[in-house]
Amino acid sequence: MVQRLTVLFLFLTAGTFPASDDVLTHVAKHADRFAAISRQIWESPELGFHENKSSALLQQELAANGFEVSAGVAGMPTAFTAKWGSGKPVIAILGEFDALPGLSQKDSPTESPVQVGAPGHGCGHNLLGAAAALAAVAIKEELQTSGLKGTLRFYGTPAEEGGGGKIYMLHAGLFRDVDAVITWHPGDSNRVNLNSSLATNGGSFTFHGIASHAAAAPERGRSALDGAMIMLNAIEFLREHIPQESRIHYIINNGGSAANVVPAKAEVTLIARHPDANIVSAIWERILKCAQAGALASETTFEFEQGTNYANVLPNDVLSDILGRAMQKAGGYDFTPEEQQFAEQLGRTLGGAVKTPGPSHIDVSKNEGVGGASTDVGDVSWVVPTAQFNAATFVPGVAAHTWQAAACAGSSIGRKGMLVAARTLALAGVELFQNPKEVQAAHEAFEKRLAGRNWTTHIPTNGRPPLDYAVR
């Protein structure tokens, strides 16, 4: 998740953190094993909906620690929930574990794929899922020890990179009884804020025309590529007349198969984004009109196949405040000399001065920026009070979806950042079980941000996730 911050100003939160220190002891106890699991997942990077080994590893650990695991939920073989306890409140922790295509990389500071073109953990989800599971185990032990009441639930959420696993879990009603969701994401610094993400919608427009010999009888052909190009030209004119924070980007996947034949088929994949999901929907209506115009003017037809559709993250002021205090208690870390060398060597591949602070720094603010990326955590955040943060798993300056991020995700730096995350989640989780008023306040903050709006999605509720989306 690349962060493009239109930062406003910093506001440092002070205050003490009441939660029990014991949970940090539990984290420490299991830290090595979950670090090893993160490495195991890193070594077998699996694409969305195909995270068989990764999901199984996390399920095993949670089951071994007394969680009740439900596997293959919501029509997705690699999705699961793991429950401990019962009754209210229901506190959820989310864990992702899918990899990205083409980002295969060794844990080395120079570009060096394990296998060219193969998947890799360029978004650090090997760390994400492992840290979240580690926190769940630690919280569970604290609940056991302290006798605090309530349900702790871990969500193993597949295919965040475009497949939208969480959305199918929402459709299946798996979040219906949840009071609060906390999660995190790997990043290049430790930070908690009220940032959002870009809401996004996308998919493929396939135009169908009539083939004809392009030299002998062009007048008998109806070019599907013309349909696509008229649509896309119209999209370019649209840019001026939508809010400036919007994004529309596209590729032409299929622009005809032989230059001497009027193309009978052409395909465009297009994504639209904006910080507000409702505005994305309004823009999408206009994109559809452009597609219709392309078909109309070229006497072709088109069909649309829904792709990724993620809502923007609705930040939660109360949960974010808890996470901020938790992270300040959790603390950052320092590089060893070897890690420092690795970081410097990697930094030189980034081309440009880096202003990000180091991993010992904790940056807690009430910033309301908008990251340049999109996530299905956004959809969850419109249904349940949700908050997330970043931990410094990547060398400062490293962006997600790069070989540098994949290298860090397999290194000791990644594993140290993962521990910052686990400690933060664990502290915050215990806090939520301890203070019912915070849970209630989080709900009120949620309603305030929602301001009467409802979550909507273009992802159909038919229970048939596109299990092959990443391997087509």
Interacting residue with a copy of itself among 2, 12, 64, 471 (CB under 8 A)? 2
Segment (H or E) for 25: helix 22-43
* Near a copy of itself in 234-263, by CB under 8 A: 234, 236-245, 247-260, 262-263
In the structure encoding, which two tokens stand for residue 5, read together? 């911050």
Interacting residue with a copy of itself among 14, 116, 216, 451 (CB under 8 A)? 216
Nearer CB in complex with a copy of itself: 272/322: 272
Nearer CB in complex with a copy of itself: 206/411: 206
* Near a copy of itself in 9-48, by CB under 8 A: 9
Other Cβ atoms closer than 10 A to 344: 12
Interacting residue with a copy of itself among 48, 95, 221, 324 (CB under 8 A)? 221
Minimum CB separation of residue 162 from a copy of itself in Å reads: 9
* Near a copy of itself in 329-368, by CB under 8 A: none
Interacting residue with a copy of itself among 45, 202, 385, 410 (CB under 8 A)? 202
- Interhelix angle 52-64/125-146, nearest 10 degrees: 10
Nearer CB in complex with a copy of itself: 116/219: 219
In the structure encoding, which two tokens stand for residue 109, read together? 């500071």
Report which residue type is found at 183.
Answer: T
Among 131-139, 292-300, 429-437, 451-459, the segment contacting a copy of itself (CB under 8 A): 292-300
Minimum CB separation of residue 261 from a copy of itself in Å reads: 8
Q: Does 213 bind a copy of itself (CB under 8 A)?
A: yes
Cα separation, 371 vs 204, in Å, equals 24
Minimum CB separation of residue 117 from a copy of itself in Å reads: 12
Contact (Cβ atoms closer than 8 angstroms) between residue 225 and residue 266 = yes
Sequential DSSP letters for 116-154: TT--B-TT-HHHHHHHHHHHHHHHHHHHHHHT--EEEEE
Report which residue type is found at 268.
Answer: V
Residue 150, judged by CB atoms within 10 A of its CB (0-12, 13-18, 19+), counts as buried
Name, in order, each residue with C-beta under 8 angstroms of 56's C-beta and a sequence gap of 6 or more.
none
Other Cβ atoms closer than 10 A to 412: 16
If binding means CB under 8 A, how many residues of this protein chain bind a copy of itself? 71
Contact (Cβ atoms closer than 8 angstroms) between residue 326 and residue 397 = no
Cα separation, 44 vs 54, in Å, equals 8
Minimum CB separation of residue 225 from a copy of itself in Å reads: 7
Among 89-97, 108-116, 333-341, 369-377, the segment contacting a copy of itself (CB under 8 A): 369-377
Minimum CB separation of residue 174 from a copy of itself in Å reads: 28
DSSP class of residue 468 equals T
Among 48-56, 61-69, 218-226, 445-453, the segment contacting a copy of itself (CB under 8 A): 218-226
| Nearest Cα residue to 39 out of 97, 102, 116 | 97
* Near a copy of itself in 374-403, by CB under 8 A: 374, 399, 401
Interacting residue with a copy of itself among 277, 290, 326, 405 (CB under 8 A)? 290
Nearer CB in complex with a copy of itself: 6/440: 6
Among 2-10, 107-115, 187-195, 408-416, the segment contacting a copy of itself (CB under 8 A): 2-10
| Alpha helices (runs of H) in 147-204, residue ranges in sequence order | 165-171
